[in-house]
Chain A
């Protein structure tokens, strides 16, 4: 499912990411914005900006997986690379996007730039069943694979509107993301979530 992303320059229905054709460099042309449930009200949608800098820096060093994670688990669409459909269209399994996060925490208990204890950082928790990994072969470099069931995917957002009071516009910036192991007692949440984050929002 390809929900959640927006691009102000595109004339298309909000919330839908098109599957791009896989022209050179398309896989690094991320949308600027994505829709997600608001940290302050799960039933309302908010806009988040997507930081491109770190993902492109990784790509410059030849590391593509962070970009593939962004496409397939935050935007909920296959990475737009050549041959992605030919290699994967027959593999069953839907993708999910950040719009389908099932839990949300605030405060990451560590400094992030000028934020001394990461209290203005939000962690969205997703439990995707499939994602795309970098796995080059003759057809494509992207392969859809299942996510091990002992993992959740966490998307970190630095709030720019700490109270969510702004009437419009993005309330934060997606800065990084990654898989973490699940908690034994709560298998839909990250391990040690009680000490890992400051507050559970929903």
Chain B
């Protein structure tokens, strides 16, 4: 795509909250604002995103998403290409999957609860997850 005509090139355009799948990082990310963040690893699937200065929760990442989507989410929810998937469902499945291999700590369950609440409150959904 020509950068001159690319959406987002306007440095003053408003950030629109949305969940995005980043293919190179193989991660789904949702953040409430565009600013510097700290990433706090919870386990191999979930990372919480905190505001750099206040350390307030501003988002989360679901990692290793490609394999997770193909092998767990897509069959369970009978998703078709291009379907939306609520991140609440993604987080519930992720916690279930993590719980099948290790016993989640109280802190990690609390982290999933916080991320799920944010996904629920903000009605976050991912469109056509593996689309470029």
B108 interface hit (Cβ, 8 Å): no
Asked if B38 and A62 sit within 8 Å, CB to CB, the answer is no
CB-CB under 8 A for A59 and B38, given A25-B3, A176-B22? no
A127 interface hit (Cβ, 8 Å): no
A17 to chain B, nearest CB (A): 17
CB-CB under 8 A for A180 and B39, given A54-B25, A110-B64, A141-B11? yes
Q: Majority SS of interface residues in chain A?
A: mixed
A178 to chain B, nearest CB (A): 5
CA distance A61 to B18 in the complex (A): 8
CA distance A97 to B129 in the complex (A): 33
Interface size on A, residues (CB 8 A): 48
Interface size on B, residues (CB 8 A): 40
Q: Majority SS of interface residues in chain B?
A: loop
Asked if A54 and B22 sit within 8 Å, CB to CB, the answer is yes
Asked if B37 and A178 sit within 8 Å, CB to CB, the answer is yes
Write the chain B residue with the least CB distance to A110.
B44
**Most A-side CB within 10 Å, residue of B11, B37, B40:** B11
Write the chain B residue with the least CB distance to A60.
B8
A136 interface hit (Cβ, 8 Å): yes
Asked if B52 and A179 sit within 8 Å, CB to CB, the answer is yes
In B1-29, the 8 Å CB interface with A consists of 1, 3-4, 6-9, 11-16, 18, 20, 22-27
Q: Which residues of B contact A (CB under 8 A)?
A: 1, 3-4, 6-9, 11-16, 18, 20, 22-27, 31, 34-41, 44-45, 52-53, 63-64, 66-68, 132
Q: Which residues of A contact B (CB under 8 A)?
A: 24-25, 27-29, 51, 53-54, 56-65, 69, 81-82, 109-113, 116, 131, 133-136, 141, 145, 148, 151, 156, 158, 173, 175-176, 178-181, 191-192, 196
Q: What are 6 residue pairs bridging A and B, where the CB atoms are less than 8 Å apart in the complex?
A: A25-B3, A54-B22, A63-B31, A111-B66, A111-B67, A151-B38
